[in-house]
Amino acid sequence: MLIKKLDLEAIESAQHKHPHSILGMHPLREGGVVVRAFLQNAMSCEVIDFTSAPEKRYPMQRLSENGLFEVVIADKNSVFPYRLRLEQYNGEIRQCYDPYSFLPTLSDEDLHLFNEGKHHRAYSKLGSRICEINGVSGVAFAVWAPSARRVSLVGDFNQWDGHYLPMRLMGSSGIWELFVPGLERGMKYKYEIWGAHEELLLKSDPYAIYFEGAPNNASIIWDIEDFDWKDFGWLDHRSRTNWRQEPMSIYEMHLGSWKRKADDGDRPLTYRELAHELIDYLKEMGYTHVELMPVAEHPFSGSWGYQVTGFFAPTHRFGTPQDFMYFVDQLHRHGIGVIVDWVPAHFPKDAFALARFDGTALYEHADPRQGEHQDWGTLIFNYDRHEVRNFLIGSALSWFDRFHIDGIRVDAVASMLYLDYSRTDGNWVPNQYGGRENIGAIDFLRSTNDLIHHYYPGAVTIAEESTAFGRVSHPTSDYGLGFDFKWNMGWMHDVLEFFKKDPVHRKHHHSQLTFGMLYQYSEHFISVFSHDEVVHGKGSMMMKMGSWHMSEKAATLRALYTYMWMWPGKNTLFMGSDFGQSIEWCYDRCLEWHLLQYMDHEGIRRAVRDLNHLYREHRSIAANDYNPDGFQWINSDDWEHSIISFLRIGKHSGETLFIVGNFTPVQRDNYRFGLPHHGTWKEIFNSNASEYGGSNIGNKGAIATEALSWNGRPYSATLTLPPLSTAIFKFEP
């Protein structure tokens, strides 16, 4: 026996930090080589030199009851390819390659770039990778755990026993690595980590692309290289598209509750089932994009996906990674973009995931004043740590790279930007300049946006940012955060508060309709009514409307949506809201599709459909969404009657739209408005039309101007304004 007693005991007790220095084949100073193997359930073992003809066998000496074997091969002076021939206690005989006979699968450059935070595709090297080394098929594993005393691979293939596949630490990088021959797609695994404080941890793979469900939450070996993408025409079109100058109408949805299979245990639709049903709906409705609430893996469905444990993996709930690829591919082939919600602001405390990953605060801050989120009971990423930034940037890039998505909406940006977000005095740590801004998070967001735009031209990034932080949607070269768009939370809150009021009181809140124009062009805004507005007792969009009868609520909601679609900027609307669902959204219950048999609801759906198509047809209006010259008030001051009017201006007079809203239940006749062009203005949309469930009061399809100045305009016309309505007129030269 050549192995030292201390090494033998360390291997057997799974406490050896450098198992590759003991196990595998090693040349001896005095000549020959020594081979050691630590094998589970093996009664005997031989080393097979399969390069010899005939092949040679070298019986190994059993050194311990737990399966440590050793042999000195005196007739070989250098290492050579070999296999192990095992006879197991159950009588089975098998041959396998030795995991400890392979060189590392990561290069020095990989390690250097990772520790610098500049390995933009670290996800292609860490995690589990099905690959072939020296003609041998297997799986390469790599995980970052710098403070761990030992990391072992455990799974279906070794009865989850951490003694038998300890990993090697790659220098000072903090990365542990192992290539295991013979493992296959579909096998479950985790990392058993002997932590910094001698605690034994069982962790899923932070870089895994597929997981099993709760309660085990194991990572699954998977390969995604076999999918046959057919969306290259879409990707080419996207790379040449500036979405700020194109119509964007976004349908926000939660995959698990859009539709469900009531006849199959009330289960949600799979990715593949969703693809076909959703495409039909989106195309009819005229949406340009779908935005998915988080589809990254998460253990608790009640978090709606916002407490992520698998930052690189589509959730198993609806199928495999290939099924998600199919979903995206099909949407692209029908001209629909895919945006996903991405959550780099925090992560849950689940013991199997990122929290105290190697026994220390690795991904999070150690100081709870920096590392714990007060509102959500979650942990906050340490954005100042290079490897954490690498992890998060890699997560974002991987969704574009692997799954061909078209954009991300970054959740809870405000909580990232401020060190004192939702914290009382004394419970937060100022930055190095004594301020409240999280400089590390700001730098991380800027880097992420720049890299996405660099690698994926035409991709969009959207910020959910609820404060007045400056230049969120401006380029980093212009001192911005680099997002393409920002959700307009202020406009949303103001407008909703106005429409919640009983019509008799709206005149006292008229400024809530107009205030948003004061800051409208400070950012590239998306007007949005999201899932957050229809949960937690806030009521559905329909039931928010400040009228007593359902027909008046429906009319008010149609008027609101028309106002929203004509307001400058792009639009996002949550599922169910586009047909006036009555109840609040619930994550484990299907939308109320049966309501479409009633005109109050079907009329709202038709109105949203026609607004989408109208917006897409008038492309020069969309092109001016962020140009102040593309908007003019006609009359913003008639608070007494809750009437508001404005122009959306295209490239020439024939692309000018006149929008007028009457937000009381009183019909106004012969109401005069000033207009910039003389001639006929065609009524191209009226939210009070009978096809939408309205009374069909209107202006008989058109109005004609007179040479009478009004509202500071050289011409004017009188209109009939239906109650609780918004109408759109187009100038006909």
Catalytic residue IDs: 411, 464
DSSP calls for 445-494: HHHHHHHHHHHSTT-EEEE---S--TTTTS-GGGTS---SEEE-HHHHHH
**Cα(695)–Cα(697) distance, rounded to whole angstroms?**
6
Element (H, E) at 150: strand 150-155
Q: Is the dihedral of CA 388, 393, 396, 401 positive or negative?
A: negative
Position of tokens 């930034």? Answer: 389
Q: How far apart are CA 97 and CA 666, in angstroms?
A: 83
CA 327 to chain CA mean position, Å:
15
Nearest to 398 by CA among 310, 483, 485: 310
**Region of residue 654 (phi > 0: left; psi between -120 and 50: alpha; otherwise: beta):** alpha
Dihedral through CA 263, CA 268, CA 270, CA 273, nearest 10?
Answer: 60
Pairing, β 136-144 against β 127-133: antiparallel
Q: How far apart are CA 48 and CA 83, in angstroms?
A: 5
Determine the Cα–Cα distance for residues 357 and 142; give it in Å rounded to an integer.
14
How far apart, in whole angstroms, are the C-alpha atoms of residue 40 and residue 74? 26
Q: Specify the length of the chain in residues.
A: 733
Whether omega for the bond prior to residue 215 falls within 30 degrees of 0, making it cis, is yes
Distance (Å, rounded) from C-alpha 365 to C-alpha 420? 15
Residue 186, number of CB atoms within 10 A of its CB: 12
Integer Cα distance of 631 and 653 in angstroms? 13
